[in-house]
């Protein structure tokens, strides 16, 4: 679905950030309707892949910048649940910075899906937005990471084949030189240029959408459409290919909201 923002709509009015969606958003729920993995299923999945390839070829073009201030109206404080932390992860005191332990011995070439950290916050309705920093000054860029959401209670999943929307996982991940992927089945590779330095995540529980944004470039990257049920929690994974940190940020309040508050006082 292509939603392009017209020139005359770029004004100071508050806009729905979903107006900035680009061609090729994946509808997971449609793919799941054909649960038996037959020809129809594969054909539908391949069509989803085709759509994403169309989006890649157009280099994620949108008309107009994403209104980050509007997204931040839905900002929530996110922390990582220390009680459910993987033993090979190192977590800061404020539960917002995580990285793999230098002693972690990762075998194999696949992304270490088992190093997931889970948000302490649970969502059952509404819109919720958070940002994650992937690059810091004077440090190498973080090339390995996983960011998304999962259905709460799916903590026993450890095999990569179960980390799919069918089993209650929705995420985008960067696997170093192997590129960016979303966890559809089969997995879909994306071309995100430039590499996100700060990633924005918008969970729209009621509308069944998980959207990702390049905050620095003010661009919408992709939206995964599905159907959420039960409690959903943020999902993070710092990977094991580098020692750079994955940092959950405190979103600044929108400027216009602060001005409005000052006027009232």
pLDDT of amino acid 16: 42
pLDDT digits (tens, 9 = 90+) for 113-151: 889 999 999 999 999 999 999 998 888 889 999 999 999
Q: What's the pTM?
A: 0.75
Domains annotated on the chain, with CATH: 17-264 (2.60.120.920)
What residues in the chain have per-residue pLDDT under 50?
1-24, 30-37, 41-42, 44-64, 256-265
Token couple for 12:
């100071």
pLDDT of amino acid 25: 58
pLDDT digits (tens, 9 = 90+) for 75-97: 999 999 999 999 999 999 999 99
pLDDT of amino acid 63: 34
pLDDT of amino acid 226: 94
pLDDT of amino acid 260: 37
Strand segments, DSSP code E, in the chain are 26-27, 89-91, 97-100, 117-118, 127-133, 144-151, 169-175, 180-182, 188-190, 198-204, 209-214, 219-225, 232-237, 246-248
Token couple for 196:
């996100």
* Cα 144 to Cα 180: distance, rounded to the nearest angstrom: 9
């Amino acid at each position: 679905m292509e939603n392009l923002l017209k020139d005359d709509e770029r004004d100071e009015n508050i806009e729905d950030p979903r107006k900035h969606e680009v061609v090729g958003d994946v509808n997971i729920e449609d793919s799941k309707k054909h649960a038996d993995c037959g020809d129809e299923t594969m054909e539908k999945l391949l069509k989803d892949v085709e759509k994403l390839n169309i989006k890649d070829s157009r280099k994620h073009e949108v008309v107009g910048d994403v209104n980050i201030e509007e997204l931040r109206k839905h900002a929530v404080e996110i922390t990582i649940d220390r009680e459910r932390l993987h033993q090979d992860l190192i977590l800061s005191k404020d539960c917002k910075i995580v990285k793999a332990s230098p002693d972690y011995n990762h075998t194999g070439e696949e992304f270490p899906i088992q190093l997931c950290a889970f948000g302490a916050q649970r969502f059952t309705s509404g819109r919720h937005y958070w940002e994650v920093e992937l690059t810091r000054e004077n440090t190498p860029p973080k090339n390995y990471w996983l960011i998304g959401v999962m259905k709460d209670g799916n903590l026993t999943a450890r095999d990569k084949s179960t980390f799919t929307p069918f089993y209650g996982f929705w995420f985008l991940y960067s696997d170093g030189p192997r590129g960016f992927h979303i966890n559809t089945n089969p997995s879909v590779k994306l071309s995100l240029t430039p590499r996100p330095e700060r990633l924005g995540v918008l969970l729209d529980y009621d509308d069944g959408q998980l959207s990702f944004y390049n905050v620095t470039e003010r661009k919408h990257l992709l939206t995964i459409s599905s159907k959420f049920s039960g409690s959903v929690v943020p999902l993070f994974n710092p990977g094991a290919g580098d020692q750079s940190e994955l940092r959950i940020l405190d979103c600044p309040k929108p400027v216009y909201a602060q001005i409005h508050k000052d006027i009232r006082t």
